[in-house]
Structure 1
Amino acid sequence: MRGGTGSARAARGRQPVIPDIRTAVQAALAGDWSPLLGTAMPGKHWADNARCTGRDADLFFPGSDDPWISPEKVRRRQGSSLNRPLNLCAACPLPVASRCLVEALRQDDEYGIRAGLLASERSLLRQAWKQRRRSAGADVASAASRAA
């Protein structure tokens, strides 16, 4: 029943149904940040609902996960040791995972697993986020100069 309601809502053009964080990431990489930003949990206590809350932070920092190493290489090197942190992230509600990823982008977190994405998987998204921020800053500066 709930799926039907969401589908009807999407059909009316209100809020798109975003099945998972990777779909939101793909949309952002294509230039549409609304799925990621629109599903992110608001408020300052969002992390209270995260599955990683209270866990050892080292679990989310695999030794060989660097932004410049391919995700496949990291997965080969780390093997099953990635299962636990990635499964915890996968169990997070989408609004929490989206907010986790947005916060990682805002803080320019270069290392660690965020929202179920390895650092190397976030590398292109971090670049796109920085470009988005630069463009937004240029738009504000341009509007200010036109108003003056």
Structure 2
Amino acid sequence: MMQGRDWHEKAKCLNADPDMFYPMPNDWKTIVEAKLICASCPVSAECLEQALDGGEQYGIWGGLDPEERRTLLRRKRQRMRME
């Protein structure tokens, strides 16, 4: 993983319309388009990590929407309790 914020320069979404990554909840077409960009992005892990660390509540980050990120965090917390 890249340190700091240098990863932004390598993001596939760098020149994309930022609104694409903040779609309305039922705008499935835009959601899928945003996630496709993330799927081929070399820094999607760094993007997701920033969203999780920063508590991002909106938007597509690292290929995950807000509900998917909440689920990921819940599972992570459950695993930590079991260890």
Classify the TM-score, shorter chain. Answer: 0.7 to 0.9
Cα distance, 1:114–1:55 mapped onto 2, change above 3 Å: same
What is the aligned partner in structure 1 of residue 21 from structure 2?
A: 60
Report how many aligned residue pairs link the two structures.
Answer: 79
Q: Kindly, what percent of the aligned residue pairs are identical?
A: 33
Distance 1:92 1:111 in 2: 19
Aligned residues: CA RMSD: 2.1
Match of 1:119 in 2: 66
Q: Is the 8 A contact 1:60 1:85 kept in 2?
A: yes
User: Is 1:98 equivalent to 2:45 in the alignment?
Assistant: yes
Counterpart CA distance in 1 for 2:45 and 2:67 is: 18
**TM-score, scaled relative to structure 2:** 0.78
1:31 alignment partner in structure 2: none
Give the structure with the higher percent helix. 1
The residue type paired with residue 87 of structure 1 is L
- Bigger radius of gyration: 1
Contact residue 41 and residue 99 of structure 1 kept, 8 A = yes
1:83 aligns with 32
Unaligned runs of 5+ in 1: 1-39, 65-76, 136-148
Runs of 4+ in structure 1 over 3 Å off: 126-129
TM-score by length of 1: 0.47
Structure 2 gaps of 5+ residues are none
Match for residue 11 of structure 2 among 31, 34, 50: 50
Query: CA 1:128–1:78 in 2, change beyond 3 Å: closer, same or farther?
Result: same
